[in-house]
Amino acid sequence: DAGVIQSPRHEVTEMGQEVTLRCKPISGHDYLFWYRQTMMRGLELLIYFNNNVPIDDSGMPEDRFSAKMPNASFSTLKIQPSEPRDSAVYFCASSLTRNEQFFGPGTRLTVL
């Protein structure tokens, strides 16, 4: 398996634009997690899915953030409108129930 795949790897956009981050989990994994890494807060969990269903979105910072998982092999994290304080590295991870998580390479987002 290729591991968790994220795209794009780097995104530079202007304030107010819509940003969509994409993730393909490892085949067969039933959990998918979206994290954000910042200098101030370290690695924080935004939302996670079980069998494509959102379970806990308490980490999503505000209504500008939304995430979907239309099928077992694809998830998106959308920011609309984006703001400079959203600049961070966004990781997607997947796992089998209660096993270690496998992280994707991350998307480095810069909002100007």
Interface residues toward another protein, by CB under 8 A: 31, 33, 42-43, 45, 48, 50, 55-56, 91, 95, 97-106
Is-contact 49 72, C-beta < 8 A? no
**Tokens matching residue 74:** 């694809």
The least CB distance from residue 19 to another protein, in Å, is 19
Distance from C-alpha of 5 to C-alpha of 15, rounded to nearest angstrom: 26
The least CB distance from residue 37 to another protein, in Å, is 9
CA 63 to chain centre: 15
| Residue whose CB is less far from another protein, 33 or 65 | 33
Is-contact 81 18, C-beta < 8 A? yes
The least CB distance from residue 53 to another protein, in Å, is 11
| Residue whose CB is less far from another protein, 46 or 111 | 46
